[in-house]
């Protein structure tokens, strides 16, 4: 009887354990189903949000295109909804004003960069086999070889001397330029003036060139004057390129200067002889 009661007792405990276990498993499965449902809803919500973001982005792009090109697609503007038209009316600005703002920003950056480079001398054509630590002494050798009188008159000091760019490109056949930063702008001007007067500058007999150091934008602006400069020079108009990129020349006993070609175009319409001279290149 005791053994039978024990078996009955164990069987009851076993049943109770299994029931508890099944109940726990059921709860876990229900919880997993709920998590799966939440996960699906979350993904759906994210998809909707991403779709909305894309729609907003496309709408903003459309508005931007309308603002930037107000006269290019009139048939599309007619079909825009009222809120886009209102947005356009609030934000549209004349294209010319935008261009002036961009030009003003570019001029400010260029002016700042040119100011930073104002005391620099750029040396072009010195072979690459010169070691970096010898560049400052190299400049002194150039000065002694070409301008011995300046070496005696000036307290020749160099703030910084380096090759540019910093790393050499093995595919490049020409030597990197050397930048010499002088402590005073007047020293730089004296050296460059002496180089212009001498016309031929050398380093150990190798022809080199000394020039002012400008920003990339200013260099491009100066290059754009070169063809006009050459023509004016052949006609004895005494052209000069002033800092940073202004063309100056003498005509009818007066010195005229221009910062861009558009202003020069307007001017030559009043000077028939000058117009005939430049009409093919301006």
pLDDT tens for each residue of the chain, 282 residues long? 444 444 444 456 666 666 766 676 666 666 667 666 666 666 666 665 565 556 555 555 655 554 554 444 445 444 544 554 455 555 555 556 777 777 777 777 778 888 889 999 999 999 887 555 588 889 999 999 999 999 999 888 899 999 988 787 878 888 999 999 999 999 999 999 999 999 899 999 999 999 999 888 888 989 999 999 999 999 999 999 888 889 999 999 999 999 989 999 999 999 999 999 998 888
Asked if 131 and 209 sit in the same domain, the reply is yes
For residue 45, being part of any structural domain is answered with: no
pLDDT at 130: 57
Q: Are residues 206 and 242 in the same domain?
A: no
Assess whether 108 and 150 both reside in one domain: no
**What is the CB neighbour count within 10 angstroms for residue 176?**
17
DSSP 188-199: HHHHHHHHHHH-
CATH of the domain at 158: 3.30.70.1820
Is 271 part of a structural domain of the chain? yes
Q: Quote the distance between the C-alpha of residue 12 and its chain's center.
A: 83
Q: How many domains does the chain have?
A: 3
According to DSSP, the β-strands at 206-212 and 201-203 are antiparallel
HSE-up (13 A, CA, CB side) for residue 31: 6
Q: Crossing angle of helices 135-146/185-198, nearest 10°?
A: 50
Which tokens in the block code for residue 256?
């005229």
Q: Do 198 and 242 belong to one domain?
A: no
pLDDT at 239: 93
The answer to the question of residue 48 being in a domain is no
Residue 166 has what pLDDT?
79
206 shares a domain with 124: yes
Q: Structure pTM? A: 0.56
- Asked if the structure places residue 12 within a domain, the reply is no
173 and 108, same structural domain? Answer: no
* Residue 142 sits in the same domain as residue 194: yes
Q: What is the CATH number of the domain that holds 238?
A: 3.30.250.20
Say whether both 199 and 130 belong to one domain.
Answer: yes
- Residue 202 inside a domain? The answer is yes
Is 142 found in the same domain as 91? no
Q: Distance between CA 114 and CA 242 in Å, rounded? A: 13
What is the reported pLDDT for 205? 92
Q: Which of 213, 230, 247 is the last residue of a domain?
A: 213
Query: Considering the domain boundaries, does residue 129 fall inside one?
Result: yes
Domain closes at, from 116, 148, 173: 116
- Domain residues for the domain of 108 are 75-116
Buried b (16+ CB within 10 A) or exposed e, 252-262: eeeebebeebe
């Amino acid at each position: 009887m005791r053994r039978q009661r024990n078996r009955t007792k164990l069987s009851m405990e076993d049943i109770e354990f299994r029931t508890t276990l099944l109940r726990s498993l059921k709860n876990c499965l229900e919880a997993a189903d709920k998590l799966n449902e939440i996960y699906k809803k979350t993904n759906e919500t994210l998809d909707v949000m991403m779709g909305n973001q894309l729609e907003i982005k496309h709408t903003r792009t459309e508005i931007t295109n309308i603002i930037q090109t107000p006269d290019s697609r009139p048939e599309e503007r007619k079909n825009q909804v009222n809120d886009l038209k209102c947005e356009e009316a609030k934000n549209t600005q004349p294209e010319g004003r935008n261009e002036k703002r961009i030009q003003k920003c570019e001029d400010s950056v260029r002016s700042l960069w040119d100011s930073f480079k104002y005391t620099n001398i750029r040396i072009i054509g010195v072979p690459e086999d010169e070691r970096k630590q010898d560049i400052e002494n190299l400049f002194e050798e150039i000065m002694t070889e070409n301008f011995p009188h300046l070496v005696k008159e000036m307290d020749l000091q160099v703030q910084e001397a380096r090759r540019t760019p910093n790393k050499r490109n093995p595919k490049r056949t020409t030597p990197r330029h050397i930048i010499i930063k002088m402590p005073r702008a007047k020293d730089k001007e004296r050296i460059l003036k002496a180089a212009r007067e001498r016309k031929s500058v050398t380093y150990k007999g190798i022809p080199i060139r000394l020039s002012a150091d400008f920003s990339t934008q200013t260099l491009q602006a100066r290059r754009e004057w070169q063809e006009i400069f050459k023509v004016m020079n052949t006609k004895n108009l005494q052209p000069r390129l002033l800092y940073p990129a202004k063309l100056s020349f003498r005509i009818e006993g007066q010195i005229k200067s221009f910062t861009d070609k558009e202003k020069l175009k307007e001017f030559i319409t009043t000077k028939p002889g000058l117009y005939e001279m430049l009409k093919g290149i301006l």
